[in-house]
Chain A
Amino acid sequence: MSAGLITSAPALPVSDPPGPDAPAPVASLIDVSLRYGKVVALDDITLDIPAGRMVGLLGPDGVGKSSLLALLAGARAVQQGRVQALAGDMGSRRHRRRVCPHIAYMPQGLGRNLYPTLSVEENLQFFGRLFGHQAAERRRRIDELTRDTGLTPFLARPAGKLSGGMKQKLALCCALIHDPDLLILDEPTTGVDPLARAQFWDLIARIRTGRPGMSVIVATAYMDEAQGFDWLVAMNAGRVLATGTPAELLARTGTDSLDAAFIALLPEALQRGHRAVSIPPLVAGDQTEIAIAAKDLTKRFGDFTAVDHVNLAIRQGEIFGFIGSNGSNGCGKSTTMKMLTGLLPASEGSASLFGAPVDPKDIATRRRVGYMSQSFSLYSELTVRQNLVLHARLFQLPPATIPARVAEMIRRFGLEASVDALPDRLPLGIRQRLSLAVAMVHRPELLILDEPTSGVDPIARDSLWQLMIDLARNDQVTIFISTHFMNEAGRCDRIALMHAGRVLVTGVPAELVSQRGVDALEQAFIGYLKDAGASGAATSEDAVQAPPPVVEPAAPPKRRFPFSLGRAWSYSLRETLELQRDPMRATMALLGTAILMFVFGYGISLDVENLSYAVLDRDQTGLSRNYALNLAGSRYFIEHAPITDDADLDRRMRAGELALAIEIPQGFARDLARGHQVQIGAWVDGAMPVRAETVRGYVLGMHQGWLQDQATHRLGQDAAAGPATIATRFRYNPDVRSLPAMVPAVIPMLLLMIPAMLTALSVVREKELGSIINLYVTPVTRSEFLLGKQLPYVVLAMLNFALMTLLAVTVFGVPVKGSLLALTAGALLFVIFSTGFGLFASTFTRSQIAAMFVAMIGTIIPAVQFAGMLNPVSSLEGVGYLIGQVYPATYFLTISRGVFNKGLDFVGLEPAFWPLALAVPVILGLSILLLKKQET
């Protein structure tokens, strides 16, 4: 097979549209193309999707199924062509707003539109509020949906802790809460165990009986479940291969399974090189040595038992399959495999490899094992060859043999065409071959492969299997593989069915099927699952037999307001709950400002005191000592041991020990008495210019003071007075101390930085985790979304403001001299701005770390440098001056200092309030305008 697997090929003629008896299409695409950068996701697709049917979109990962569904749901913006759904153009914003309450969209990924820290109940309540249901109505619907899906016992469990199957049921409940006419499901059963899958389709079937008019569009990579759909669309490389009922597709290709039919539908070029997987039988005989054994192997994470007393024995040379659902909270396959390789220590029980107990510290056994972890996990920054070489070296192959071994791996695993490519640029099938090559590079006797074929297209899957079978049969490598594909399970010599941490049964696949007296492994598995009582965790029996859910007519549509407080409030509530449950962000939000206030309060100190100085007194007379004493009396200076000579002076100044050194020359008193000019030397450490300037000021002042003293002493009072004096009044801060000046300046800075950062994170987090999709496909508007998310952070920021004011008054001893009310009002306006700035930063960043960066740079630099914290705005020049004039921090700083230091109230500060009040609508308006209501 060639590397060009996913290159587009000429499309085959698409089959006839559904027959004339079919109802009008529920959705249609006309000449639709979609690109992500250079990658073509959809390539000129024209398609009518019949209404009232169960329509399946069929094809492996990355062929454009998800893109097509996202276009239909209105989650993604149409680039080219026309997309119609529910009798309207999805390119039109008005139509989307009108129909989105009638479309339900469940995106790909287990529970991707759910909020993992929220409980089942809280998730459902959130969606209910979004669709404007009242409390009683929500209660009724939630009770009904959870009863039908068997989720009622789990209402209080966080969505993130549900099993894959339950997550998908919850996602379905959330999608169904508003009685949609069009249900769009993107790979709803990927990674779900067979029983839960069967129950899921059962549920859909019953819902369809209850709502016969509802159209369902499903994307799936499982060919077997597509068998039960009404109408299919087979897709590859962004194009439609064929459409029709399952029977039609089988008939047209002359095959007996959809898997085979799909391969037959592929363009000729792609089929070339594909051959059916052939498995030479295992020569069982003398190969009875045990490669892996597990005895009562158990793993607990807290009170959750991931693996529960697993017993296994895998013979050398065997292909042993671990079958079960996958996903983060799956059945324990990955955890078991990690314990067997020594990656995870077992909580209980023992495991042995090649007869020796598994010891994570034993480096030697690792050389005998090759491990390929779930999902691609090689270094994506290294090229294919670099990855192979690195692993060969880390496994300490003799350096001379490495080039030959790497070349052999490249040839054997068909990587010639991509030797110097970065793995991210390669199709998944090739990446998995590379993973396998890397796992094999050190010639292990045992390969542990965790879900190697997940998401890989059928042809690539077969070729990967062929490679593994060759390794097992020709090289006598023992293979321990986990999978959730039943047809792959059938290729193993023996399999173990696993569920909820326990091995249900172990045996030869064919024997298991015949033991249960069923036709296929899948049914056998379902049987074993039922025996194990797995149903208890899924659908209860009476729910299965319950009548189809009665669908009450939707509540009469309420008058449409452009802004719904209910929906915004729904987002506020949800954000608050999520924040409470994220310890890191909650700490940052509550204590971050307090911690940083201490740091800044003490750190940005402009006080210069406790300055160390020493005297080199070459005169040693009463007068010279008197001069030195004059310094020692100052509160700013601390005297250190006298300097002995020039070398001592130099050394101590270089070490930074002395900020000031005074040198009194020999004959100081004598020369002065004679009326000669004398010179006292003062050396200031200039390393910190600000400190040096201050020291200079002090020393000059004290020198003049001493001179005056001396003059008064000798010549009498009058001679001392100069021609004029200057009475300096240090206003607002009479002691000229740093804290009273800095604390009121630190408060605006922190109220700007942290709320902005947290608000930006809260929006971008949704983009990263995928729940932003709820903004795209539910009736919530951009302003409701943003303002709803902003509210909790405004409240938090005001709490922080109260905390900081309290700290200022108590710990730092900086009293509020003016109107606290004015300060609070200013703070409120300011935090609305700063959280708004966070929203603004979130509209154009995609990753959380970038959002943090933008928020930090966009707040700290202007706040510290240009808002007048250290230097007044009027002292700035150029761009800095302009920023200082425009940036609201300047005005809140004026208010903060005005109230804290200058004792002012609203009247005195009025000019500072207007720009602040103006900034709020500007930043919020910008954020709302820039936020996208669709993915582009």
Chain B
Amino acid sequence: MSHAATIYRLGIKELWSLARDPMMLVLIAYTFTVSIYVAATAMPETLHKAPIAIVDEDASPLSIRIATAFYPPRFNPPAMIPLDRIDTGMDAGDYTFVLDIPPDFQRDVLAGRSPAIQLNVDATRMSQAFTGSSYVQQMVLGEVNEFVQRYRASPEWPVELALRARFNPNLEQSWFGALMEIINNVTMLSVILTGAALIREREHGTIDHLLAMPVTPAEIMLSKVWSMGLVVLLAATIALVFVVQGILRVPIAGSLVLFLVAAGLHLFATTSMAIFMATLARSMPQFGMLAVLILLPLQLLSGNSTPRESMPELVQNLMLAAPTTHFVAASQAILFRGAGLAVVWPQFLTLGLIGAVLFTIALNRFRRTISQMA
């Protein structure tokens, strides 16, 4: 039982150390408040103030009608440009969309000749190009249809498509942004805090001290795992309750407790990983660089910010070994889609397994290297 007592005491010591490290406290506070707020609010809606230009070769009531259909916030007021400005304007990146309304457009429409409007899209601007172009298309056709309907009735389409988005009916970016940031921050903060806790001992020379006491490496490591894990869990809970639900008014679909269980399993894996990384790095700056090289792939390729299925197969398979992939899958299911344990248990199981493997590897390395750290 004395093992548990030692692990507890050492963990409390870690909490004191953290409490007196202003840099880290600021980091925790920042990641779980401001950064969530920014992530939730800074992400613009997909189509926001998209720059558009129109070449009106027709100058008819219909072409003018089309031009007036574009206005903020979705589009910037359209720039009316001559034909020869299309290429230069698009090359310079001034416009994402350029509509070219051909001469005699209105006449041809009314004559039922079904004339074509050319829509130029700058396809290097992925985020606007795809959704934007179908939007522009709908709007132009809508205007034309309405215009035409004043002159002749068109047959009504018999099949309607009732398209609804589940879990986020209005597709609000802030819902996604806020929760995504929390999931990311759980990983990032746990790695940085735990790594820093070990490196701090190393830089202050206190490892020496610990080793001269009746304390085993496993106890030292476990004490850091539980204390730093607890801090992250606590911070995440506060952020979910007060920042996400309170200030941002983003609903959480599933059970908060279930999410915390997932996070707990995940933290076991990430804190172990952090200990491993801290044994590789000799100083805080080295640890920082290592963290950049390891955390960025873990986060970006986990499927949290962009869907996994659009990544190459090799990347998808490699990332199955990363705890973040499973944590992200479980968290998204719980937080966004209200999934219960019946749905997410496979992820829980995998997380537990990965955690156990990482812990064993890290502990072995920690045992081997701890004497050289002193």
Bound together, the chains give a CA A729 to CA B133 distance in angstroms of 10
B84 interfacial by beta-carbon distance below 8 Å: no
Which residues of A have CB within 8 Å of B166? 653, 683-686
Bound together, the chains give a CA A363 to CA B147 distance in angstroms of 90
Bound together, the chains give a CA A342 to CA B216 distance in angstroms of 12
**Contacts A363-B214, A390-B13, A707-B159; A380 near B289 (Cβ below 8 A):** no
Q: Which of A584, A700, A847 has the most CB of B within 10 A?
A: A584
B364 interfacial by beta-carbon distance below 8 Å: no
Q: Is the CB of A730 within 8 A of B133?
A: yes
B332 interfacial by beta-carbon distance below 8 Å: yes
Bound together, the chains give a CA A865 to CA B339 distance in angstroms of 32
Q: Is the CB of A724 within 8 A of B141?
A: yes
Bound together, the chains give a CA A380 to CA B16 distance in angstroms of 10
**Contacts A723-B145, A736-B126; A391 near B213 (Cβ below 8 A):** yes
Which residues of B have CB within 8 Å of A513? none
Bound together, the chains give a CA A680 to CA B161 distance in angstroms of 5
**In chain B, what residue has the closest Cβ to A691?**
B307
**Contacts A379-B17, A738-B310, A852-B285; A684 near B163 (Cβ below 8 A):** yes
B173 interfacial by beta-carbon distance below 8 Å: yes
B311 interfacial by beta-carbon distance below 8 Å: yes
**In chain B, what residue has the closest Cβ to A393?**
B9
Q: Which of B109-156 contact A (CB under 8 A)?
A: 109, 112, 114-131, 133-134, 136-137, 140-141, 144-145, 147-148, 154-155
**Contacts A595-B293, A686-B166, A742-B126; A693 near B46 (Cβ below 8 A):** yes
Bound together, the chains give a CA A656 to CA B344 distance in angstroms of 10
Q: Is the CB of A725 within 8 A of B116?
A: yes
Q: Is the CB of A375 within 8 A of B205?
A: yes
Q: Is the CB of B137 within 8 A of A584?
A: no
Which residues of A have CB within 8 Å of B297? 595-596, 599, 603
**In chain B, what residue has the closest Cβ to A596?**
B296
**Contacts A724-B144, A875-B50; A692 near B165 (Cβ below 8 A):** yes
Q: Is the CB of A693 within 8 A of B338?
A: no
A367 interfacial by beta-carbon distance below 8 Å: yes
Q: Is the CB of B114 within 8 A of A897?
A: no
B327 interfacial by beta-carbon distance below 8 Å: no
Q: Which of A582-614 contact B (CB under 8 A)?
A: 584-585, 588, 592, 595-596, 599-600, 602-612
**In chain A, what residue has the closest Cβ to B210?**
A394
Which residues of B have CB within 8 Å of A847? 284
B51 interfacial by beta-carbon distance below 8 Å: yes
Which residues of A have CB within 8 Å of B51? 872, 874-875
Which residues of B have CB within 8 Å of A744? 124
Bound together, the chains give a CA A886 to CA B51 distance in angstroms of 19
Bound together, the chains give a CA A904 to CA B293 distance in angstroms of 34
Q: Is the CB of B159 within 8 A of A651?
A: no
Q: Which of B136, B140, B281, B284 has the most CB of A within 10 A?
A: B284
Q: Is the CB of A604 within 8 A of B162?
A: no
B42 interfacial by beta-carbon distance below 8 Å: yes
A208 interfacial by beta-carbon distance below 8 Å: no
Q: Is the CB of A377 within 8 A of B116?
A: no
A675 interfacial by beta-carbon distance below 8 Å: yes
Q: Is the CB of A381 within 8 A of B168?
A: no
Q: Which of B130, B162, B343 has the most CB of A within 10 A?
A: B130
A835 interfacial by beta-carbon distance below 8 Å: no
Which residues of B have CB within 8 Å of A163? none
Q: Is the CB of B167 within 8 A of A390?
A: no
Q: Is the CB of A908 within 8 A of B337?
A: no
For chain A, the count of residues having a C-beta within 8 Å of the partner chain is 133
Q: Contact flags (1/0) for A786-823 with B, using CB distance below 8 Å?
A: 00000000000000000000000000000000000000
Min CB gap B36→A, angstroms: 15
Q: Is the CB of B163 within 8 A of A377?
A: no
Q: Is the CB of B337 within 8 A of A382?
A: no
Q: Is the CB of B292 within 8 A of A856?
A: yes
Q: Which of A656, A723, A725 has the most CB of B within 10 A?
A: A723
A555 interfacial by beta-carbon distance below 8 Å: no
**Contacts A724-B141, A852-B288; A680 near B213 (Cβ below 8 A):** no
Min CB gap B26→A, angstroms: 10
Number of contact residues on B: which range applies? Answer: 35 or more
Q: Is the CB of B117 within 8 A of A872?
A: no
Q: Is the CB of B158 within 8 A of A872?
A: no
Bound together, the chains give a CA A595 to CA B294 distance in angstroms of 10
Bound together, the chains give a CA A687 to CA B175 distance in angstroms of 8
Q: Is the CB of A687 within 8 A of B167?
A: yes
Contact segment of B89-97, B238-246, B257-265, B266-274: B89-97
Bound together, the chains give a CA A687 to CA B172 distance in angstroms of 9
Bound together, the chains give a CA A725 to CA B88 distance in angstroms of 25
**Contacts A602-B311, A687-B168; A872 near B128 (Cβ below 8 A):** yes
**Contacts A379-B17, A687-B167; A870 near B120 (Cβ below 8 A):** no
A401 interfacial by beta-carbon distance below 8 Å: no
Which single member of B91, B126, B204, B374 contacts A606 (CB below 8 Å)?
B126
Q: Contact flags (1/0) for A368-382 with B, using CB distance below 8 Å?
A: 011101111111111
Q: Which of A723-772 contact B (CB under 8 A)?
A: 723-734, 736, 738, 740-742, 744, 757, 761, 765
Which residues of B have CB within 8 Å of A680? 159-162
Bound together, the chains give a CA A338 to CA B370 distance in angstroms of 13
Q: Is the CB of B216 within 8 A of A611?
A: no
**Contacts A363-B214, A726-B141, A744-B124; A381 near B21 (Cβ below 8 A):** yes
Q: Is the CB of A728 within 8 A of B133?
A: yes
Which single member of B105, B171, B205, B310 contacts A724 (CB below 8 Å)?
B105
Min CB gap B20→A, angstroms: 4
Bound together, the chains give a CA A360 to CA B312 distance in angstroms of 49
Q: Which of A678, A684, A877 has the most CB of B within 10 A?
A: A684
A618 interfacial by beta-carbon distance below 8 Å: no
Q: Contact flags (1/0) for A422-462 with B, using CB distance below 8 Å?
A: 10000000000000000000000000000000000000000
Which residues of B have CB within 8 Å of A872? 50-51, 93, 96, 125, 128
Which residues of B have CB within 8 Å of A375? 205
B252 interfacial by beta-carbon distance below 8 Å: no
Q: Is the CB of A394 within 8 A of B312?
A: no
B350 interfacial by beta-carbon distance below 8 Å: no
B57 interfacial by beta-carbon distance below 8 Å: no
Q: Which of A685-719 contact B (CB under 8 A)?
A: 685-694, 696-697, 699-701, 703, 707, 719
Which single member of B6, B92, B312 contacts A911 (CB below 8 Å)?
B92
**In chain A, what residue has the closest Cβ to B115?**
A724
18 A-B pairs besides A376-B205, A908-B88 with CB distance below 8 A are A344-B371, A366-B212, A371-B212, A379-B16, A393-B9, A396-B6, A655-B343, A655-B344, A656-B329, A656-B339, A659-B307, A678-B160, A683-B164, A685-B166, A686-B169, A724-B144, A872-B93, A898-B93
Where the two chains meet, the residues of B that have a C-beta atom closer than 8 Å to any C-beta of A are 2, 5-6, 9-10, 13, 16-17, 19-21, 23, 42, 44, 46, 48-51, 76, 88, 90-94, 96, 105, 108-109, 112, 114-131, 133-134, 136-137, 140-141, 144-145, 147-148, 154-155, 157-169, 171-173, 175-176, 204-206, 208-209, 211-216, 281, 283-286, 288-290, 292-293, 296-297, 300-301, 305-307, 309-312, 315, 329, 332-333, 336-339, 342-344, 371, 374
Closest 5 A/B residue pairs (Cβ):
A603-B300, A686-B168, A686-B165, A733-B123, A377-B205
